[in-house]
Amino acid sequence: MIDLIARPLEPQLADAFHRPITYLRISVTDRCNLRCVYCMPEEGLPWINKAEILSYEEIAEIVRAAAKVGVRSIRLTGGEPLIRKDLDRLVAMIAATPGIDDIALSTNGLLLADQVQGLVAAGLTRANISLDTLREDRFEAIARRPGLQRVLDGIDAAFAAGLGPIKLNCVVMRGQNDDEVEAFAQMTRDRAVAVRFIEVMPVQENVEGHVSQYISAQEILERIGAIGDLRPVDGPKGNGPARYYAFDGAAGSVGVISPLSHDYCDTCNRVRLSADGRLKLCLFGDHFIDLRTPVRDHAGEDALIAILRGSMYVKPERHHLDIGTTASAMRALSEIGG
């Protein structure tokens, strides 16, 4: 058994490969109100028992410990985080934590219009919204649920609440939505939106068709470049792995996230907390550290800090995902964009 407490580490959280860890992604629920074809089966998954889900108070306790060792950015994810009640209460707890200066949300946008004002008032600073198509029929085919207009309304509401520039995450699949790449890119000319195209990854639900669906980030950029010259830009604030480009004079930017063709492991600055309190050290790995038990045993902040520091010794250097292989975890694509 790995000793996660006894080994000393420098005060700033850093892994064995000298990468500072400043970013914590927190899943507040494993459940979702969509069933995207690249994400989970249509019938759903075996959901985590409610008693095993961390309370907001337990999450806030872990965030306070993480902030003490240099974590500065928090992203709330799911499943779909907005289906958990009173999420603004958790945002307010995190916003009150000394050292945390960035609180972001990853959402499919269906419930965003009704909640965004309260979330921003509580301290939310940024939002990523998943949108794989601009056509209602395709939305239902990909998400296995209706709702395109609700997502578009959520985007408008996020801008109105002051969350711009908004990041839109689009998973590109050959033969399903790849003919919309240019239309998505054109959105950035007149609106302060960062459209990020994500290479489809081989999770359990699509591994057999993955090779035929896969489009590299390079091909995506070539298609967009055919409708206008692109120049590299810094892109909007955030902790994600996207490389950004923009048309001359554009209000927004185009990004590509390429976990297969151009991995970004050398700059990884993040860890993930699952809804049931497991610290996941690599999105595509099987390295988990239990934080729920010490929290519920009232081990205290010093013990949590020691566990966080010790976990860095087992964070892998990189993932080994490749075309035609299967990611170890479902919902990887919904988790990837920062």
* Per-residue 3-state assignment (H helix, E strand, C coil) for the chain: CCCCCCCCCCCCCECCCCCECCEEEEECCCCCCCCCCCCCCCCCCCCCCHHHCCCHHHHHHHHHHHHHCCCCEEEEECCCHHHCCCHHHHHHHHHCCCCCCEEEEEECCCCHHHHHHHHHHHCCCEEEEECCCCCHHHHHHHHCCCCHHHHHHHHHHHHHCCCCCEEEEEEECCCCCHHHHHHHHHHHHHCCEEEEEEECCCCCCCCCCHHHHCCCHHHHHHHHHCCCCEEEECCCCCCCCCEEEEECCCCCEEEEECCCCCCCHHHCCEEEECCCCEEECCCCCCCEEECHHHHHCCCCHHHHHHHHHHHHHHCCCCCCCCCCCCCCCCCHHHHHCC
pLDDT average, residue stretch 16-45? 89
pLDDT higher than 80, residue 72 = yes
pLDDT average, residue stretch 270-298? 90
On the question of a cis peptide bond just before residue 11, with omega within 30 degrees of 0, the verdict is no
* 249 assigned to some structural domain: no
pLDDT average, residue stretch 81-91? 98
The answer to whether 256 touches 220, Cβ cutoff 8 Å, is yes
pLDDT higher than 70, residue 59 = yes
pLDDT average, residue stretch 24-46? 89
Residue range of the domain that includes 304 = 23-164+266-336
Which pLDDT belongs to residue 204?
53
* 329 assigned to some structural domain: yes
Percentage, residues of the chain above pLDDT 90: 69
pLDDT higher than 60, residue 250 = yes
CB within 8 Å of 211: residues ≥ 6 apart: 323, 324
The answer to whether 69 touches 9, Cβ cutoff 8 Å, is no
Mean pLDDT taken over the chain: 87
* 185 assigned to some structural domain: no
Specify the pairing of strand 270-273 against strand 278-280. Answer: antiparallel
* 228 assigned to some structural domain: no
Model confidence at 209, in pLDDT bands (50, 70, 90)?
Answer: low
Which pLDDT belongs to residue 38?
85
* 227 assigned to some structural domain: no
The answer to whether 57 touches 86, Cβ cutoff 8 Å, is no
* 240 assigned to some structural domain: no
Which pLDDT belongs to residue 208?
55
pLDDT higher than 70, residue 37 = yes
C-alpha 171/C-alpha 192 separation (Å) is 20
pLDDT higher than 90, residue 127 = yes
Which pLDDT belongs to residue 14?
85
Which pLDDT belongs to residue 239?
60
**Three-point CA angle 263, 268, 270, nearest 5°:** 130
224 versus 208: the higher-pLDDT residue is: 224
* Residue among 221, 197, 200, 196 at smallest CA distance from 210: 200
Please state which of the ranges 22-26, 74-78, 255-259 shows the lowest mean pLDDT. Answer: 255-259
Strand partners, 254: 195, 245
C-alpha 248/C-alpha 233 separation (Å) is 11
Strand partners, 104: 75, 126
Q: What is the CATH number of the domain that holds 48?
A: 3.20.20.70
Taking each helix axis as running N to C, give the angle between helix 87-95 and helix 56-68, from 0 to 180 degrees, rounded to the nearest 10.
20
pLDDT higher than 80, residue 19 = yes
pLDDT higher than 80, residue 261 = no
Rounded-to-10 torsion of CA 325, 333, 247, 190 = 160
pLDDT higher than 60, residue 210 = no
* 200 assigned to some structural domain: no
C-alpha 72/C-alpha 63 separation (Å) is 10
* 299 assigned to some structural domain: yes
39 versus 208: the higher-pLDDT residue is: 39
233 versus 337: the higher-pLDDT residue is: 233
pLDDT average, residue stretch 316-324? 57
Sign of the Cα pseudo-torsion (295, 299, 304, 306, in order): negative
Total domain count, the chain: 1
pLDDT higher than 80, residue 316 = no
The answer to whether 21 touches 70, Cβ cutoff 8 Å, is yes
Which pLDDT belongs to residue 2?
42
Specify the pairing of strand 278-280 against strand 288-290. Answer: antiparallel
pLDDT higher than 80, residue 78 = yes
The answer to whether 109 touches 131, Cβ cutoff 8 Å, is yes
Strand partners, 31: none
Q: What is the pLDDT of residues 173-207, one digit of tens each?
A: 999 999 999 999 999 999 999 999 998 875 555 45
210 versus 305: the higher-pLDDT residue is: 305
pLDDT average, residue stretch 270-296? 90
